[in-house]
Each structure stands twice: as structure tokens, then as C-alpha cells.
Amino acid sequence: VKLENDLYKALDQNELEIYYQPQYNNKTSRIVGVEALLRWNHPKQGMIAPDAFIPIAEETALIVPIGEWVLRESCKQLKAWQNQGFPLESMSVNLSVRQFEQNNLFTMVSSVLSEVGLPPEQLELELTENLIIKNRELTLKTMKDLKGLGIRIAIDDFGTGYSSLGYLKSLPIDTLKIDKSFIQDITNDDDNAAITDTIITLAQNLNLNVIAEGVETKQHVEFLSARDCYLMQGYFFSRPMKAMDIAKQFLTV
Ligand code: G
Ligand code: G
Ligand code: MN
Ligand code: NA
């Protein structure tokens, strides 16, 4: 209850902060985009990870104003980096179930994009499989509306949910993000290697982009490269960082 009360004030008191994690194209050795990852700088408890407060934000519906703030701030940040000459092409933003179910989601996203002046195709919204199986009709309609704007849609944590392949095929999806739990063990665990292999092949056959998450070692990079999965995100390349640190580290003038 205490954390919940504090969360009501967090946005107004500027305690929320967005970290950004680079997404690499290992073929061109360039960062193509970043994922926005929310952090809560709690005045007493210090930095709180999203796993500890996103569920509370969902239950209380605070995720709605917080999510809108994340979207606006991250789109503005991408625009700012581009204006500084940093050739990033994409911002990935996580969307939770509660947000996805808001009937003004389309209006909210389109007004943020026009307010910021960001081309819609530079925004990728990450949804989880669990969200898309909740209400099939609403999911399809909402996704089609969003796609109509020109934005891209990624399925996050792919492989950990329960959606069927036939259903996935019917949705306007651009990208599969391979869950980090599969990547973490690919070099020791034959099952995880097989699953990762299968997801990459699935994406390639369905003409979807595929990005591996949780890429931590050179072995991971080699495994993925050998299978032509060249989009990667993980500690091997960079941890999620403050916007300023991203610029310091990667903005070459
Ligand atoms: O950054 P970290 O690895 O701790 O993130 C943990 C989880 O929190 C991830 O599943 C991520 O999708 C989720 N998350 C991070 N930022 C946001 C956000 O802005 N909105 C939502 N809905 N989830 C987020
Ligand atoms: O949105 P999603 O659930 O995919 O969130 C990604 C999470 O994974 C974030 O909490 C981020 O901090 C974390 N993460 C990013 N790269 C790595 C990595 O290489 N290893 C591990 N263990 N976690 C990572
Ligand atoms: Mn994500
Ligand atoms: Na993920």
C-alpha cells in the first residue's frame, strides 16, 4: 500500500526516469534504435526496477498517465538525438495490457507523434503475447488501427506466452523479440538453442524482423549471426543507460 501511495506522486514529483538500451545491427555494426525502459527513482528506497512497480501501476491504472509520459518523453528524446546528428532510426516503447485496452489509445499515440513530429514508422510498440490472447477481437482492431498510423508492432518476450502460430499470423506484426531466457543458455542448453533456432526461422519465413534480447556474450553473438539473426540487444553491447550517457558513449561528432 505504501509503494502504491508513493507511485501516485511519482510522476508529478519527477521521480520517474527513462533508461535507454541500444539495439544493434551486428551486420552494419551500428545502433539502429533503442528501447525505452522505465525506472523509478524513489526518494527513500532508491532506484526501483519496473518489475516491482509496473504491476502496481497496472492495478491502479496509473500506467495510463505514466505510459503516456513514457511515450511522449521517449519520442522527444529520439527526435533530440536525431537533431544532434545521431542517426537513430527507431524507438521501442513497451505497452501494457491496461494501456492497450484504453479506447483512446489510438488518439493518444497519434497526437503524441504529431506533437513531437516523429515519423510513425520510427516508433515500435512492444506488446506481449499474453496481451494479445486476452481479447482477440479488440486486439486485432486496435492493432490494425495502430498499424494504420504507420507505426510498427513488436511481440516482446516471444516464445514465453501461449499464443498460437495461426493466430499470430493473422495479426499485423512487424517484429518478434526473442525472450532473453532462451538466449541466456543457448550455448549449453540444446533445447534453448533449438527454440531460438525455430523462432529465427519462423520470423524469416513469415517475413518478420527478429531481434534477440539478453545477448550477453560473444558466443551468443556468434550463434545468432550464424543463423542470420543480426538484430541484437543486451549487456554485451550495452546496458540500459540514461539518455545523457547514451549520447556520451555513442554520439560520435
Ligand atoms: O528494464 P527491465 O529489464 O528491468 O524491465 C523489466 C520489465 O519492465 C520489462 O518486462 C519491461 O517490458 C517492463 N517495462 C519497462 N519499461 C516499461 C514501460 O515504460 N511500460 C511498461 N508497460 N513496461 C515497461
Ligand atoms: O521489455 P522486456 O521485458 O523485454 O525488458 C527487457 C529487460 O531485460 C529489461 O529489464 C532490461 O534491463 C533487461 N536486459 C536487457 N539486456 C539484458 C541482458 O543482456 N541480460 C539480462 N539478464 N537482462 C537484460
Ligand atoms: Mn521490451
Ligand atoms: Na523481452
Closest CA to 35 of 20, 49, 50: 20
Q: Does a structural domain hold residue 253?
A: no
CATH number at residue 82: 3.20.20.450
Going from the Cα of 213 to the center of ligand 2, the distance in angstroms, rounded, reads 7
Where does the chain show beta strands of DSSP type E?
A: 16-25, 30-42, 46-48, 90-94, 123-128, 152-158, 175-178, 209-212, 231-232, 241-242
Domain residues for 62? Answer: 2-247
Residue 7 has pLDDT above 90, yes or no: yes
The average pLDDT across 62-86 equals 96
Contact 84, 247 (CB under 8 A): yes
pLDDT > 90? residue 210:
yes
Strands (E) in 85-147, as ranges, are 90-94, 123-128
In this structure, is residue 252 part of a structural domain?
no
Q: Using N-to-C axis directions, what is the helix angle for 105-116 and 63-83, rounded to 10°?
A: 20
- pLDDT score at 164: 82
Model confidence, pTM: 0.96
pLDDT at 195 over 90: yes
- Is 60 exceeded by the pLDDT of residue 253? no
Cβ proximity of 174 and 209 under 8 Å: yes
How wide is the angle at C-alpha 240 spanned by C-alphas 153 and 70, nearest 5°?
A: 50
Is the beta carbon of 23 within 6 A of some atom in ligand 2? no
Q: What ipTM was reported for this prediction?
A: 0.96
Q: Which ligand is nearest to the CA of 240?
A: 2
Report d(CA 247, CA 251) in Å as an integer.
Answer: 5
Q: What is the pLDDT of residues 40-71, one digit of tens each?
A: 999 999 999 999 999 999 999 999 999 999 99
Closest protein CA for atom 3 of ligand 2: 157
Provide the number of structural domains found in the chain.
Answer: 1
Of ligand 1's atoms, which has the minimum distance to the CA of residue 157? Answer: 10
C-alpha of residue 209 to centroid of ligand 4, in Å: 15
Q: Is residue 122 assigned to a domain?
A: yes
> What local confidence, expressed as pLDDT, does residue 252 receive?
65
78 versus 169: the higher-pLDDT residue is 78
Distance CA 95, CA 64 (A): 10
Q: Is the CB of 98 under 6 A from ligand 2?
A: no
- Nearest-5° Cα angle at 125, 57 to 82: 110
